[in-house]
Structures are given as C-alpha cells and as structure tokens.
C-alpha cells in the first residue's frame, strides 16, 4: 500500500442458518407417539384439572361475535371443524361466551384466539408465585446439557374441570346460510 492511499478489507461471511426439520431429529423419529404432528384429542385425565374461579355473584358474560372478513370466516369454519373433529370443542348452549378473533402468525397463517378479557376481569387470580429467575439460574449451576420444549397447542393440553367448561364458551358469527333469528350450529360451539 502506498502512503496516503485508502485500503479496504472485504470479507464474506455466511450468516444463513441451516433449518433443522423436527423430523430429522433422531429421538422424534424413535418416539412418534410422543411427538405427534397433531394432537389426537383431549388430554388424559390427570390428578390436576384446570379450574377457573369467578368472583362470587358474577353473572354469565356473553359478548357478541366480532365482525370478520370473508377470508377470516373461511378460516374460522376450517379451524372450528378441525377442533370439533378432534374433540376439543363441542356444541354448547352456555350463557357464557367470548368473541373469536384472528392474529396473523409470522408465516402468514391465522391463529384463532378467544378474547377472554371480560372473563379475566371477574376471575379470581391464581396467586401461585412464579419462580425467581436468579433461583432458576442457581439450579442450572454445573449442568452441561440443556433442552427446551414448546408444547404444541399448549392450551389444548390442559383439561378443564367439566363443571366449568361452560365458562370458556366462545361466540362466532352466524353462517350466511343460517335462517334469520336461528343461531347457527357453529355459533353454539364450545
């Protein structure tokens, strides 16, 4: 290099991450019943059931369904049918009901969500303390192997106490084919 000249250093770095498919993981292939693509149905009966306690004297809360675009209505029909086929929901005449909405996921697909904000306002909060982060790190001291888990459809892996299922009912728009004044069957689904 000459004095007074500018020099530039150029280098190429490959920053692409290799995508690992879950089916390429040996343990997943060895135990397909533990790692199903889709949940087969309701979780088995367990010692602990999910309980929602509401404040004494609370009257059932029923919020009308939100308006949806035609594409959302089609997706709603598909997702409700899948949930019904798998036994996660069933028709209901519950006096309770929360509206359904969609949130777009990173991949562009729609995630069905139920707006339980009104129910949350009258729910008695579970005061079970979350662990302190520094205590969790103390427990990891000396560990050399770490793993993480992401439960597929996590809320469908909790079984709610049978008597309280009506509290979790949701309301959906009536289908355009429904007769006026008659609730559509999808609108009664839980």
pLDDT tens-digit series, residues 45-86: 777 777 889 999 999 999 999 999 999 999 999 999 988 888
Buried b (16+ CB within 10 A) or exposed e, 32-59: eeeeeeeeeeeeeeeeeeeebebeeeee
> How far is the C-alpha of 100 from the C-alpha of 123, rounded, in Å?
19
pLDDT tens-digit series, residues 121-167: 999 988 888 889 999 889 988 888 887 766 666 666 677 788 888 99
Please report, for the chain, the start and end positions of each structural domain, with discontinuous segments joined by +.
Answer: 22-188
Is 66 within 8 Å of 118 (Cβ atoms)?
no
The pTM for the full model equals 0.64
> How far is the C-alpha of 174 from the C-alpha of 116, rounded, in Å?
20
Q: In this structure, which CATH number among 3.10.10.10, 3.40.50.150, 3.40.50.300, 3.40.50.1860 belongs to the domain 22-188? A: 3.10.10.10
**Residue for token digits 């397909």?**
32
């Amino acid at each position: 290099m000459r004095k007074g000249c500018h020099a530039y250093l150029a280098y190429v770095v490959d920053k692409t991450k290799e995508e690992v498919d879950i089916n390429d993981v040996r343990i997943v292939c060895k135990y397909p019943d533990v790692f199903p693509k889709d949940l087969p149905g309701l979780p088995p009966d367990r010692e602990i059931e999910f309980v929602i306690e509401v404040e004494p004297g609370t009257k059932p809360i029923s919020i009308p369904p939100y308006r949806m675009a035609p594409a959302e209505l089609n997706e709603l029909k598909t997702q409700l049918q899948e949930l019904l086929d798998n036994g996660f929901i069933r028709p209901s005449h519950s006096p309770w009901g929360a509206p359904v909405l969609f949130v777009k996921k990173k991949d562009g697909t729609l995630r069905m969500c139920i707006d339980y904000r009104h129910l949350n306002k009258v729910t008695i909060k579970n005061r079970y303390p979350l662990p302190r982060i520094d205590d969790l790190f103390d427990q990891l001291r000396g560990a050399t192997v770490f793993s993480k888990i992401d439960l597929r459809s996590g809320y469908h892996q909790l079984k709610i106490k049978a008597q309280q299922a009506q509290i979790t009912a949701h309301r959906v728009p009536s289908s355009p084919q429904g007769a006026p004044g008659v609730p559509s069957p999808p609108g009664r689904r839980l």
